[in-house]
Chain A
């Protein structure tokens, strides 16, 4: 390691660099000046700090979660009694479409990416992420897509064809008006945002790990981030193609999905689920990353069998691309072909089962401390395993043909997505809240909220299994009396009210704690990873000196003082890049300054995308402002910065 550090030679003394001669308060003042946002509102809009972007992502996603939750309550109230007429058919269809679309595209994927954007540079010990302006662009595009969808909904042009919008129902003949166009264009926004964030995260992880943090020493959450970012890169183009073709069918008269003109309605389902199934793992794998970090910290020991956990993540990421047909067992594709997808779907439970084993073994071998984040992890295992096992059931064709598209499936995917991703997320928010705000969340309120969410969730979603078997299809605005559906539905509604109250309590806890919670030391939980090596909240430059890593759990092994490397410029934004595998120092690299152009570029792109719903010519005209904004964005700044080595 030392020879590698030496190779990054001490530079000439013409520019100030961090090192033995420049440290402590003097260094921090200089770094602060260099890495802070410009002053004022424009400076706020220009921020490229990954902590700002990540925080904005998470907060925006939580707002969308709340909105989708309100829609969920509306649906549950309508379904509380048979033949209820609180909400009419057309409005109900809009509501469930908005609920699913918001949860999947505006909450689940973005909130995970937001957490990843916030945490990854801190966990791998670098000052910023790669392509920070692209990252800022990613957030603004996500926000624009979310606003487009929700403004449309408020103006009564919200989509009403379900979150997977099967043509021909979503095609030009049956999906009349602009509702579906808005849905499909929202997909374009979110996929641009997700791809941009994924590219930034992948590059950050591969090239910016602190010296010594080889792939084998990366925190498991960072591994999960790497795997999911690669999954985003491989799966999003499929839905981009699908929604692009849908828009072109609707707006310029192509016939990709029109059977009357030799198009194929099933083509959409293949393309959509080739993205849609991996998407579930894009949501779930970061959650398993949270779980691994929380389990290790609160068991007071390293995760048992790190290589198995990492290989499970990678294996799940690969298998996720071989399962999409299990969403299509009822479409009449060749029956023998289905067995491949059955076997593939079942086999996903092997890596997942291994991960669960490693978490339980870690708790077993350690001394678990039942703080709120760990409670969420335990709730996660109890809940998610039910979802995993019902997943095994519906992987079998004869079972799926009965259970597909019923409330059994609704129960299954809420167990997997709420139990499997939202529970760990709430634990993770509690866990990293002191890092982001400098204050700890209240344990008492946290525990009350946890138990209400955990029990309320079971009450809301377990009866749905029974409703499904008792013949209740999903996406119905009402159901007849006398089919045995009254009790399960009433229980679900009561449960949903408990959960929503508890989520409100969680938010109250967030707000109160952010204002007046107990102040947090840099490492309040005694955790092992690098994000806890810096202050709470971290300074704009993350670390005064870049840490030097020699184990998987640096803060547990380093003794009194974490070793660091020296020699980065302090008056310009500079990063140390390391090699991909073994993280040996490679080059010093300038990092872009704050810029308003990602935001202006987003405004131009938004104008183009939204206008293209109304006229295809908007694409032709709209690229001009986009090109101008991109040119300004990439305009080279000072020659001093380029070629700084």
Chain B
């Protein structure tokens, strides 16, 4: 753990974190790294100049005759004026250059999304992400939650909406952030360049569980993406064992169905994450827990102790019901 941290501290680019602006796996983030390097160089030079001048100014303490003890405290030597002009010119030129580089990088980022080949809509909620892949033909559309899959090398346009408060959509390995603002529509352009598993996170404070509002991002080959997409188009499988059937009955007839949707069943709630392919995801409750049987048990039994304040109530399930629900949820691949 410590070595990992030290590595993170030392290396300034090319580290392979799942949630870092120094990843560079998206076109916009690659531009960020380049631009950051340029700014870093210019700023370091300026800092060294100021520091050097300050250190020399303090340590030389020469016998100048331009102090109050010599009754000449208003005089200045001849170098001050040219130095001031030079310093001002240096700042002005440096700033102009940085402003222009920044501006053209921004234009380049804006062009990334000019011809999107895939469109999705991400709607933020306290504290989870609703994800829809939009096609003109509605039967080809897919809805999922807290995860997005993207084919590598394909420009994507993401329409951003919010159902409650302001959130911010941020997958640092791919691109900068964009706010999701109720009553407004914003958008983000992504152009993933490398396959991999990344993590996004809400970046605008949005209430109690702001910290636990992550998004699992999978960038994969076109073939893998199409395979995943095909699977997502399927409706939920029919429960096979008696235990799964019991869980299925509970979910579709009791509390769960009023909030959650499971395609192919009568559970059609629209205010909580879609569960149709729940078990195929990497995490539970927007990145709160890794996906595994134990965590599904923990989450379903007592969501309020796992993620206090979230909108899923702890309802005091009986053990039998709990076993059934978990067994059924695990079939939702």
Give the residue name and chain of the B residue nearest to A475 (CB). Answer: B205
Contact B203 A405 (CB under 8 A): yes
- CB neighbours (8 Å) of B205 from chain A are 93, 161-162, 166, 169, 405, 474-475
* Stretch in B24-32, B215-223, B226-234, B313-321 with 4+ CB within 8 Å of A: B24-32
Contact A483 B19 (CB under 8 A): yes
- CB neighbours (8 Å) of A490 from chain B are 5
Tell me if B265 counts as interface (CB < 8 A to partner A): no
* Contacts A366-B67, A404-B203 given; does A398 touch B109 at CB 8 Å: yes
* Contacts A342-B99, A365-B76 given; does A360 touch B35 at CB 8 Å: no
Contact B76 A361 (CB under 8 A): yes
Number of cross-chain contacts by CB at 8 Å: 295
Alpha-carbon separation in the docked complex, A483 to B110 (Å): 29
User: Interface readout for A477-502 with B: 1 if CB under 8 Å, 0 if not?
Assistant: 11111111111101000000000000
Alpha-carbon separation in the docked complex, A396 to B40 (Å): 13
* Stretch in B135-143, B147-155, B175-183 with 4+ CB within 8 Å of A: B175-183
Alpha-carbon separation in the docked complex, A46 to B43 (Å): 52
**Quick one: which of B21, B60, B176, B201 contacts A469, CB cutoff 8 A?**
B21
Report the minimal beta-carbon distance from A288 to chain B, rounded to whole angstroms: 15
Report the minimal beta-carbon distance from A232 to chain B, rounded to whole angstroms: 27
Give the residue name and chain of the B residue nearest to A365 (CB). Answer: B66
Tell me if B237 counts as interface (CB < 8 A to partner A): no
Interface centre among A168, A301, A305 (most CB of B within 10 A): A301
Alpha-carbon separation in the docked complex, A350 to B64 (Å): 29
- CB neighbours (8 Å) of A330 from chain B are 168, 176-179, 203-204
- CB neighbours (8 Å) of B61 from chain A are 367-368
* Contacts A406-B203, A466-B8 given; does A265 touch B166 at CB 8 Å: yes
Alpha-carbon separation in the docked complex, A486 to B106 (Å): 32
Contact A346 B98 (CB under 8 A): yes
Report the minimal beta-carbon distance from B49 to chain A, rounded to whole angstroms: 10
Alpha-carbon separation in the docked complex, A538 to B66 (Å): 31
Contact A405 B74 (CB under 8 A): no
Main secondary structure of the interface of A (DSSP, over half): helix
- CB neighbours (8 Å) of A331 from chain B are 179, 181, 186
Report the minimal beta-carbon distance from A618 to chain B, rounded to whole angstroms: 29
Contact B211 A478 (CB under 8 A): yes
Contact A302 B47 (CB under 8 A): no
Contact count band on B? 35 or more
Query: Could you tell me which residues of chain B, from 49 to 107, have a CB within 8 Å of some CB in chain A?
Result: 50-51, 53-54, 56-58, 60-64, 66-69, 73-74, 76-77, 80, 83-84, 87-88, 91-92, 95, 98-99, 101-103, 105-106
- CB neighbours (8 Å) of A366 from chain B are 64, 66-67, 73
Contact A300 B68 (CB under 8 A): yes
* Contacts A366-B66, A368-B57, A370-B58 given; does A389 touch B46 at CB 8 Å: yes
Alpha-carbon separation in the docked complex, A353 to B91 (Å): 8
* Contacts A399-B102, A470-B17 given; does A305 touch B80 at CB 8 Å: yes
Query: Could you tell me which residues of chain B, from 126 to 174, have a CB within 8 Å of some CB in chain A?
Result: 126, 160, 164-166, 168, 170, 172
* Stretch in A32-40, A48-56, A218-226, A379-387 with 4+ CB within 8 Å of B: A379-387
A and B contact pairs by CB, cutoff 8 A, 28 listed: A89-B208, A89-B212, A93-B207, A93-B210, A168-B165, A263-B183, A264-B183, A301-B68, A332-B160, A342-B99, A346-B95, A357-B88, A363-B54, A378-B58, A398-B32, A398-B176, A401-B176, A402-B172, A402-B177, A403-B21, A405-B203, A471-B21, A473-B203, A475-B205, A483-B17, A484-B5, A486-B4, A487-B2
- Which A positions have Cβ atoms within 8 angstroms of B? 88-90, 93, 160-162, 166, 168-169, 173-174, 259-260, 263-266, 299-302, 304-305, 308, 330-332, 335, 338-339, 342-343, 346-347, 349-350, 353-354, 356-357, 360-361, 363-368, 370, 378, 381-382, 385-386, 389-390, 392-393, 395-406, 463, 466, 469-471, 473-488, 490, 526, 528, 553, 556
- Please name 20 further chain A to chain B contacts, defined as beta carbons within 8 Å, in addition to the given A266-B184, A360-B54, sorted by A numbering: A93-B208, A169-B205, A174-B207, A266-B181, A300-B67, A308-B84, A330-B179, A332-B179, A335-B110, A339-B99, A354-B84, A357-B88, A367-B64, A367-B69, A368-B57, A392-B98, A401-B175, A473-B211, A526-B68, A553-B68
